[in-house]
A and B are shown apart, each in its own frame.
Chain A
Amino acid sequence: MLKTRLIPVLLLQSGHLVRSEAFNIHQIIGDPFHEAERFNQWQVDELIYLDITQDQKYQYGRIDREHALSSQALDILSEVSKRCFMPLTWGGSLRTFEEVQEVFSRGADKVAINTQAFEEPALIKKIASQYGNQAVVVSIDAMFNDESGKYEVCINGGKERTGITPEEWASKAETFGAGEILLQSIDRDGKGSGYDVELINRVSHCCNIPLIACSGAGMYEHYVDAIEAGASAVAAANLWHFKELADRGGRRALQRAGINVRI
């Protein structure tokens, strides 16, 4: 049977590897090439890179789209794709079809699109018809809205609330041709207290495409909770960077729970 995937997420800002918490604090934690090499040696299932450099530019109101994509980040992609023989997903402030094309030509297998997909779902369709549905990962950031008692999708780096539920948006994204959903919880980001299983449960039941759960993993056992809640794959950022033998630890925890993983 299909094995559950464990996926490291690498957050890039101005060419550095960073960590975040509640989508806010960004501290530099390392060098993306060194990390990619480590993951390559461990033969991890997949890699996801999210370049959040542009979010900063966007935040400061610099709408300089001429050299929109950080060339530094793209160079990292080119180098990594030459030496990593596993699937690579690239995302982060992708706004236009041309930017997406550039990312594919540099070696990415899939692109993760977030805000732009929400504002312009037709972009999902356009990318899917050229590169196939499986090449489009729609990334959804969600937080719990205490007033409404429901989860809510947030865009623009988690800063803007949309009033739409992630269940609704994921289902819509699927009809537009998304191949997978990457679900991040703003509340759980960087906390290490576990995935938001309620969120995962809700969204996974609203679509038939694979769901990659992200945000909140602090122990390997958290992976099990996410899979049991309906995720097809578990992604994590900090857990991979701050723990020795993260790959083996994660696999063992899933195996112990009777979940199929690559050994």
Chain B
Amino acid sequence: MIAILDYEMGNLSSIYNAVSYLGFQAVITRDPSVIEKADGIILPGVGAFKVGMAHLHEFGLIEPIRRHVVEEEKPLFGICLGMQLLVEVGYEHGETKGLGIVKGEAVPFKDVIDPKLRIPHVGWNSVKQTGNSQLFGDIKADSDFYFVHSYIVRPRDPDVVCSVTDYGVDFCSSLSFGSAFATQFHPEKSHTQGLQLLKNWLEGIEHA
């Protein structure tokens, strides 16, 4: 059973619909006792880093997430803000501590790219796989996925980077560390390749 975390940061129904469509059981929850029993967690989210962390704190989800990933080494799939929150710190109106599961930081696009490029980065862009993750499976090496974000993650260790995407700068569009895998793009909004990626992750849990 997959737990999709509800911390009031974004459209959960799309993810739930995608997981159900693929034939897997999911529940939208913020109940730590349910999360504890989950085989896998999806950490979704769109919006601000600071607000995201504040909500995770408010709903008592920080410890359950850390326990699931770090102690129990159970699978987690982070999407968009869900990927950004995995790092140590986010820089937006000051500094905010993240979950600290992956070494690195989240920074605003506007600080690192040509000011002529429009922000947020919205639309389909090429996800160039680095080969650091098997989860992409048979998905073509530079398939397009849907992005919508104003921040990027800069992991400290290049080996965690599973794909790179170009928008003014080559940024990390997916990463993998321990049992955590995360994408800056929205697989639930990326047609067949997005669904395939989710399916690969879900099947990996089923066969574990």
> What band does the interface of chain B fall in when counting residues whose beta carbon is under 8 Å from A?
35 or more
Residues of B within 8 A of A233 (CB): 123
* Interface residues of A, count at CB 8 A: 35
Segment at the interface with B among A25-33, A64-72, A82-90: A82-90
13 extra interface residue pairs, beta carbon distance < 8 Å, beyond A134-B148, A209-B120: A2-B122, A3-B123, A3-B126, A43-B191, A129-B51, A130-B47, A131-B46, A132-B9, A132-B46, A132-B47, A134-B150, A208-B119, A210-B118
Q: Is A133 an interface residue (CB 8 A)?
A: yes
Q: Is B99 an interface residue (CB 8 A)?
A: no
Cα A134 to Cα B18 in complex, Å, equals: 21
Q: Is A135 an interface residue (CB 8 A)?
A: yes
Contact B11 A109 (CB under 8 A): yes
Interface of chain B, main secondary structure: mixed
Contact B123 A107 (CB under 8 A): no
Smallest CB separation, A227 vs chain B (Å): 12
Smallest CB separation, B79 vs chain A (Å): 13
Given A43-B192, A45-B124, A107-B17: A132 and B48 interface contact (C-beta under 8 Å): yes
Smallest CB separation, A231 vs chain B (Å): 11
Question: Closest 8 A-B residue pairs measured CB to CB?
Answer: A132-B47, A132-B46, A43-B191, A134-B148, A3-B124, A134-B120, A2-B125, A210-B118
Q: Could you say which of B18, B48, B51, B125 contacts A3, with CB atoms under 8 Å apart?
A: B125
Given A85-B188, A132-B47, A262-B124: A209 and B11 interface contact (C-beta under 8 Å): no
Contact A81 B14 (CB under 8 A): yes
Smallest CB separation, A263 vs chain B (Å): 9
Nearest residue (CB) in A for B149 is A134
Contact A1 B122 (CB under 8 A): no
Contact B14 A109 (CB under 8 A): yes
Cα A135 to Cα B47 in complex, Å, equals: 9
Contact B148 A87 (CB under 8 A): yes
Contact B125 A87 (CB under 8 A): no
Smallest CB separation, B28 vs chain A (Å): 12
Q: Is B189 an interface residue (CB 8 A)?
A: yes
Within 8 A of A (CB), among B1-50: 9-11, 13-14, 17-18, 21, 46-48
